[in-house]
Amino acid sequence: MSQNTQNIQHSLLSWYDQHKRDLPWRRTKDPYAIWVSEIMLQQTQVQTVIPYYERWMKRFPSIQKLAQATVDDILPFWEGLGYYARARNFHKAAQEIVQKYQGKIPTSAQELIQLSGIGPYTASAIASIAFDEDTPVVDGNVRRVISRLFLTPDDKDKIQEQAEKILAHGRAGDFNQAMMELGATICTPQNPQCLICPLQKNCQAFAKGLQADYPPLMKRVVQKAIKTVGGIIWKEDKILIHQRPLKGLLGGLWEFPNFRVSEKKEGSKLLQKYSHQEIGILISAGEKIRQVKHVYTHLIESLDIYLGRWVKGKIPSKNYKWVKSIELSQYPFTGICSKIRTRILNGTPNVSSSEEKKSHKALKKKESPEKVLIPT
């Protein structure tokens, strides 16, 4: 091992021992708990994950409890976290563990990666953190730190090679977390805090003043704008909701019926047309309640919501349901439709965006609605 590597390991681990954040999943060695955290942390920041992690662990405290649950049981605990396939894959893996592994979580990265939802990163993370296997992780943080430390080109194999070279054997779990912690708190994408960085003396980018140039920027994709029309469709005191197909965008989440449109016709007519074509019901469509925008990674959706009333026809029993407005909060909703749901429950069709955010959070805490919008 080179002098430089020894120095990096020592400086990084000393810094980590002294400065590591007190995170819920760092208070345990339970491999299941660490697994939960690693799945939630995929492409998701620590501060976002913490409340979800706490709620999840309370409701599904073990791999057995998770395996016993249904997909509909688990989705509400993932609502708003995004990348819903993570929840489904994790659930599937839990059932595999119970059925094929006698309920025992495998201890090696090589075995873990076989499970659904576990890729190279997560396999190494669980193996090193929960089982002390000497295997390095490479995530967005590690990629950036290594890229700057060694001016490594942004090549998957080169980064992996470097990560293996500097891994502190015997303390792989701490070392891996330290690399990620450094990337998250000091060696940040913009304005890295090089002056207080424990690896400043080892950093080739800092020596040349090239921190801002590493890693090279990725080309970004332009978001596509799409337009949809949807309806709050009443039948007596009930509203029609739809569960999205399990696979694909927002899989398994519920929403108010809405349809992709390209034509520039009148929205209420389109809602009638698609309600007939896609759902098989006849409705009368009234005024536009409001327009809601929602930004996805590759998509910007603009949804026009109309008030509707059922006239005749039977809904497909599978993915459609009539529910009372006060029951809406029992279903995990898509982000864009939860904005509208909030307004129905509050009886405030038009609120400012700041108020919208508050009421959205209030809903999640299951606070009782004050008023209910009366159908016209």
Partner DNA sequence: AATCCGGGGAA
Partner DNA sequence: TTCCCAGGATT
Which residues contact DNA by CB under 7 A? 23, 26, 37-38, 41-48, 80-85, 89, 116-123, 125, 139-141, 144, 177, 180-181, 183-184, 189-191, 217-218, 220-221, 248-251, 294-298, 334-336
Closer by beta carbon to DNA, 153 or else 280: 153
Show the tokens assigned to 119: 């890729």
Closer by beta carbon to DNA, 143 or else 373: 143
Query: Mapping DSSP to helix (H, G, I), strand (E, B) and coil, where does residue 167 land?
Result: coil
38 is catalytic: yes
Cα distance between the two ends of the chain: 76
Length of the chain, in residues: 376
Question: Is 291 within 8 Å of 304 (Cβ atoms)?
Answer: yes
Q: Of the candidates 259, 201, 239, 224, which has an alpha carbon nearest to the alpha carbon of residue 326?
A: 239
Query: Measured from the CB of residue 187, what is the shortest distance to DNA in angstroms?
Result: 10
Three-state secondary structure along 249-280? CCCCCEECCEEEECCCCCHHHHHHHHHHHHHC
Q: How many CB atoms lie within 10 A of CB 207?
A: 11
Query: Measured from the CB of residue 93, what is the shortest distance to DNA in angstroms?
Result: 8
Closer by beta carbon to DNA, 51 or else 103: 51
Closer by beta carbon to DNA, 86 or else 233: 86
Closer by beta carbon to DNA, 308 or else 335: 335
Query: Measured from the CB of residue 33, what is the shortest distance to DNA in angstroms?
Result: 12
Query: Measured from the CB of residue 180, what is the shortest distance to DNA in angstroms?
Result: 4
Using CA of residue 174, residue 175, residue 179, residue 182, what is the dihedral sign? positive
Contacts with 126 (C-beta within 8 Å, 6 or more apart), sequence order: 31, 34, 35, 38, 105, 109, 112, 118
Closer by beta carbon to DNA, 85 or else 372: 85
Query: Measured from the CB of residue 39, what is the shortest distance to DNA in angstroms?
Result: 8
Closer by beta carbon to DNA, 335 or else 369: 335
Pairing of strands 238-243, 224-235: antiparallel
Query: Measured from the CB of residue 130, what is the shortest distance to DNA in angstroms?
Result: 12
CA 202 to chain centre: 34
CA-to-CA dists, residue 203 to 20, 137, 169, 330, angstroms: 21, 20, 21, 51
Query: Measured from the CB of residue 152, what is the shortest distance to DNA in angstroms?
Result: 15
Which member of 38, 79, 181, 301 is catalytic? 38
Phi then psi for residue 240, to 5 deg, are -85, 130
Helices (H) and strands (E) in the chain, counts: 15, 7
DSSP 190-205: SS--GGG-TTGGG-HH
Query: Mapping DSSP to helix (H, G, I), strand (E, B) and coil, where does residue 63 land?
Result: helix
Q: Of the candidates 262, 260, 255, 263, which has an alpha carbon nearest to the alpha carbon of residue 278?
A: 260
Query: Measured from the CB of residue 107, what is the shortest distance to DNA in angstroms?
Result: 17
Closer by beta carbon to DNA, 141 or else 243: 141
Using CA of residue 8, residue 10, residue 13, residue 19, what is the dihedral sign? negative
Active site residues: 38
